[in-house]
Amino acid sequence: MEMIKRPRRLRENAVIRKMVRETRLDKSSLVYPIFVMEGEGITEEIPSMPGQYRYSIDTFIVKLKELLAHGVSSVMIFGIPDQKDEIGSGAYDSNGIVQRALRAAKKAVPDMYYITDVCMCEYTSHGHCGVLNGNDVDNDPTLELLAKTALSHAEAGADMVAPSDMMDGRVLAIRRKLDENGYSRVPIMSYAVKYASAFYGPFRDAADSAPKFGDRKTYQMDFHNVREGIKEALTDVEEGADIVMVKPAMSFHDVLTKVHDVVNVPVACYSVSGEYAMVKAAAQNGWIDEDRIVGEMAVSAFRAGAQIYITYYAERIARLIDEGVIG
C-alpha cells in the first residue's frame, strides 16, 4: 500500500516524540496551595486529602524548603485562624495567621514566590465570602474588607494577591487600595472564572470554610455557563487583573480555552481539592496509575491554554518532569 503521510513516523521512539511535542511543561509554571494554621510543631494530615497537610508556621517553613529543593518555587497560602467573627476581621489583621506566616517565610525562604488567597470565608463565623445582609453576602461593603486584606498581605511581604471571593468590582477595589499605599508593583491574580462546584468539598474540610447555611451560588458562577465566564474574565482584566484564573480545572477545559483565546493576560487554572481527592482515592485502591494520571491532567491543562497550573500535585509533577515522564 502506498502512503505518503505516515504520522507514526514521528512516534518511533522517545527522542522524536519529545522533539515534536506541542505542549511542554516547566516547573516554574507550578503553584502549590498550602494551609497554615496557629500553633507550633504541627503537621496535620487533611483526612479528605491524603498526603496534604495543615502546617503551623514553623513546619510551614520546613515544607517551603522541601518544595524549593524539588524546583517548586511558588506557593499559594491559605490561612486557618483560631477565631472567627461575623466580619472576618482575622483576614485583614496585621498580626493574622497569613500575615505572620508571610513575614516568617520571606525571612527564612526568600527565594520562594508567595501568592496569597484573598477571601473572607476562612475567617467569617458564617463561612461566606463577605459580610452579610440578611442571608446574602452584601457585595459593596465586602469590597473594602477585601481591599484591606490584600493590602495587609502586601505589607507582610506577599509577592502577589489572588482574590477568590467573586464579588463584583473587587479587582478594581484591590488595585486602587494597593496603588494608593505604594504597592503598585504587586500583581493581582484574579479568580475570575470561579464556578459554584462540588469539586471544592475537601478544601472546605481543610480550611474549615464551609458555609453554615445556604450555598455560594449567588456569587460563584453557574457551571452551565461559558459566555458568562468570558464576561467575568474580561471585566477583571479591565479592572486591572494581571492574571486571570479558571477554577476548577479538569471539568472546565472548554472554558479555559475560550478565556485564553480572548484575554491578553496570562491564564491560570486551579486543579482543586476534589480532583486531587478522586485521583488519590483511586490510586490508593490500585485502580489507576497515579503518576500517569497526574501527568495527563497537568498536560491537558496546559494544552487547553493554561500558563500557570495550581495543584496539590505540584511537587510530584516536578519529580515527574525530572524523571522525563512528562515535560
Average pLDDT over residues 209-231: 85
Instruction: Check: CB of residue 259 under 8 Å from CB of residue 305.
Output: yes
Kindly state whether residue 1 falls inside one of the protein's structural domains: no
Range of 48's domain?
A: 25-322
Is residue 1 scored above 90 in pLDDT? no
**Is 39 part of any domain?**
yes
Domain membership flag for residue 225 = yes
Vertex 108 angle, CA 106 and 111, to 5°: 60
Answer whether residue 4 is part of any domain: no
CA distance 182 to 151: 10
- Is 29 within a domain? yes
Give Cβ neighbours of residue 276 (< 8 Å, ≥ 6 apart): 49, 52, 202, 311, 312, 313
All three cell numbers of 175, joined, read 488595585
Question: d(Cα 222, Cα 199) in Å, to the nearest integer?
Answer: 13
Q: Which of 63, 177, 194, 280 is catalytic?
A: 194
| CA separation for the pair 177, 183 (Å, rounded) | 8
Q: What is the CATH number of the domain that holds 139?
A: 3.20.20.70
User: Tens of pLDDT along 240-253?
Assistant: 999 999 999 999 99
- What pLDDT does residue 279 have? 97
Question: How far apart, in whole angstroms, are the C-alpha atoms of residue 80 and residue 323?
Answer: 35
Please count the structural domains in the chain.
1
C-alpha cell at 276: 486531587
Taken in order 91, 92, 96, 100, is the CA torsion positive or negative? positive
Instruction: For residue 2, name the pLDDT band (cuts at 50, 70, 90).
Output: confident
Confidence check: pLDDT of 214 > 90:
no
Q: Kindly tell me if the per-residue pLDDT of 325 is higher than 90.
A: no
pLDDT tens for residues 258-314?
999 999 999 999 999 999 999 999 999 999 999 999 999 999 999 999 999 999 999
Tell me the mean pLDDT in the region 216-245: 94
Residue 6 falls within a domain, yes or no?
A: no
Q: What span, in angstroms and rounded, lies between the C-alpha atoms of 252 and 300?
A: 11
pLDDT in tens, 89-130: 899 999 999 999 999 999 999 999 999 999 988 899 887 888
Which residues does residue 33 pair with via DSSP β-bridges, in sequence order?
76
Whole-model pTM over 0.75: yes
pLDDT for the residue 70: 96
Kindly name the residue from 63, 148, 177, 247 that is annotated as catalytic: 247
Provide the CB-side half-sphere exposure for 134 (13 A, CA). Answer: 1
Q: Which of 114, 126, 118 is nearest to 146 (CA)?
A: 118
State how far the Cα of 1 lies from the Cα of 8, in Å rounded to an integer: 15
Q: Decide if 212 is catalytic.
A: no
To which H or E segment does residue 49 belong?
strand 49-55
On the question of pLDDT at 213 being above 70, the answer is: no
**Identity of the amino acid at 263:** V
280 is catalytic: no
pLDDT value for 207: 66
Classify residue 20: in a domain, yes or no.
no
For 47-91, the pLDDT digits (tens) are 999 999 999 999 999 999 999 999 999 999 999 999 998 888 899
Distance from the Cα of residue 272 to its chain's centroid: 8
Task: Give per-residue pLDDT as tens, 4-42.
Answer: 788 998 899 988 888 888 888 899 999 999 999 999 999
Give a yes or no: residue 273 inside a domain.
Answer: yes
pLDDT tens sequence across 130-187: 888 888 888 999 999 999 999 999 999 999 999 999 999 999 999 999 999 999 999 9
